Amino acid sequence: MSGKSKVVVIRHIGDEALGIIQANPNIDLVLWKEDTQAPRSWILENIKGASGILVVMGEPVTRELVDAAGPSLKVVSTMSVGYEHVDQPLLAQHKIRLGFTPDVLTEAVADITVMLAFMASRNVGETLAIVQEGKWSTVPWSPFLFTGPQLSISGPSNPSARTRLTAGFLGFGRIAQATLHRLIAFGVTDVLFTARSDSSKVSQEILDKYPTLHSVKQASNDELAAGSDVVFVLTPGGKETYHLVGEEFLKKMKSNAVLVNTARGTCVDSDALAKALKEKWIWAAGLDVVEGEPNISADHPLVKEPRAVILPHIGSATTETRVGMATRAARNIVAGVLGEKMEAEVDL
């Protein structure tokens, strides 16, 4: 026994982040060195007697893992902002702390959220495929070919353009507000959002911050579905938001509205969404996350919908952001093991 605290890191998270852990003389780092997911059996074997474990999104932190670690386990650090893969009541029961990585990924995810809204509204999924498959010559330019709803305000030169544009946010946290910040430049005029508690103060703050907005209102799910030209799903995952967007919600949406999900796949009922697109209840969907990911086959009804633009969960995938997440997760685990304040800790 070295007398040091053992910290298990289940993926190679980059030299900079690993360096933070290795630099601490009181920590023994046990690392799965491959650039692949560590097998569960390796994790269960190596976590025995560990003080901390650094995991990535999707690795289940369950009773099996906590039991395998034994009473030495003090901290779990997840390199993600979401933590529905972690059994939070179990950690609370064992007084195990949980670190996570909010903030650093806000801008990257907001970028891709806006990008997906435009990709979906402007038929980018379908039209990219046409070029890639060498079929451009079969669809020569014509006035209304591939036209979609415009998610920006055109100005007085076009009297046919819409003059109001409402963005609806299911969940109005950091990423939602960073998304709105970007949309202001596109002329969004009205905002609807859902929140768990009365948020009239938030509405006023947003109105003060963006004087070009006509209105900012906390809404029910139904009001938001019916009133939005683009709906952004930006709630945490987990049981509370399971199938938040299902048939009922989708049926209430405008037929030329766009749905964007960059939160968690479980928030949207995939079968209902495939039906909504097929039967044209809504215009299009842009998804960075899908229920059951990454095991989605090319035959999945949603994947086959031409107006579903689906990305393989790359919301935070910029180099800068991933380094920021990895280093924050590393600092969290070191602080947790040493019993110090973490940069970002979940209140269990």
Query: Do residues 329 and 101 lie in contact, with contact meaning Cβ atoms separated by under 8 Å?
Result: yes
CB 194 within 8 A of CB 171: yes
Other CB atoms within 10 Å distance of the CB of residue 33: 10
Q: In this chain, which stretch among 76-84, 128-136, 194-202, 326-334 interacts with ligand DGY, using CB under 6 A?
A: 76-84
Q: What angle do CA 332, 333, 336 make, to 5 degrees?
A: 85
Of the listed 126, 223, 293, 343, which one is catalytic?
293
Q: How far is the CB of 320 from ligand DGY (least distance, A)?
A: 13
Per CB under 6 A, the segment of 11-19, 42-50, 74-82, 119-127 that binds ligand DGY is 74-82
Q: Does 81 bind ligand DGY (CB under 6 A)?
A: yes
Nearer to ligand DGY, 311 or 338 (CB): 311
> Interface with ligand DGY includes 315 (CB under 6 A)?
yes
| Contact mark string toward ligand DGY, 268..307, x via CB under 6 A | ----------------------------------------
| Residues composing the chain | 348
CB of 185 to ligand DGY, least distance (A): 24
Site membership for ligand DGY, residue 266 (CB under 6 A): no
- Shortest Cβ 325–ligand DGY spacing (Å): 7
Task: Say whether 97 is catalytic.
Answer: no
- 6: tokens are 């053992």
264 assigned to active site: yes
Rounded to the nearest whole angstrom, what is the least distance from the CB of residue 344 to ligand DGY in the complex?
11
Give me 23's structure tokens: 């630099």
Min dist CB 305 to ligand DGY, Å, is: 23
Q: Contact 30/2 with Cβ under 8 angstroms? A: no
Contact stretch for ligand DGY (CB under 6 A) within 67-75, 80-88, 276-284, 330-338: 80-88
What is the size of the binding site for ligand DGY (CB under 6 A)?
Answer: 7
3-state secondary structure the chain: CCCCEEEEECCCCCHHHHHHHHCCCCEEEEECCCCCCCCHHHHHHHCCCCCEEEEECCCCECHHHHHHHCCCCCEEEEECCCCCCECHHHHHHCCCEEECCCCCCHHHHHHHHHHHHHHHHCCHHHHHHHHHCCCHHHCCCCCCCCCCCCCCCCCCCCCCCCCCCEEEEECCCHHHHHHHHHHHCCCCCEEEEECCCCCHHHHHHHHHHCCCCCEEEECCHHHHHHHCCEEEECCCCCHHHCCCECHHHHHHCCCCCEEEECCCHHHECHHHHHHHHHCCCCCEEEECCCCCCCCCCCCCHHHHCCCEEECCCCCCCCHHHHHHHHHHHHHHHHHHHCCCCCCCECCC
Residue in 313, 322, 328, 331 annotated catalytic? 313
Q: From the list 57, 92, 344, 346, which residue makes contact with ligand DGY (rule: CB under 6 A)?
A: 57
Tokens representing residue 4 in the block: 């040091």
Active site (annotated) includes residue 162: no
Binding piece for ligand DGY, criterion CB under 6 A, among 45-53, 77-85, 126-134, 186-194:
77-85
Residue with Cβ nearer ligand DGY (191 or 325): 325
Rule CB under 6 A: choose which of 5, 80, 166, 228 binds ligand DGY: 80
Among the listed residues 97, 122, 264, 331, the single catalytic one is: 264
Of 78-86, 117-125, 161-169, 205-213, the segment contacting ligand DGY by CB under 6 A is: 78-86
Decide if residue 82 touches ligand DGY (CB under 6 A).
yes
Site membership for ligand DGY, residue 316 (CB under 6 A): yes
Binding track, positions 105-134, relative to ligand DGY; x by CB under 6 A: x-----------------------------
Minimum distance between the CB of residue 99 and ligand DGY, rounded to whole angstroms?
13
How many CA atoms within 13 Å lie on the side-chain side of 310? 23
- Give catalytic residue positions: 264, 293, 313
Binding site for ligand DGY (CB under 6 A): 57, 80-82, 105, 315-316
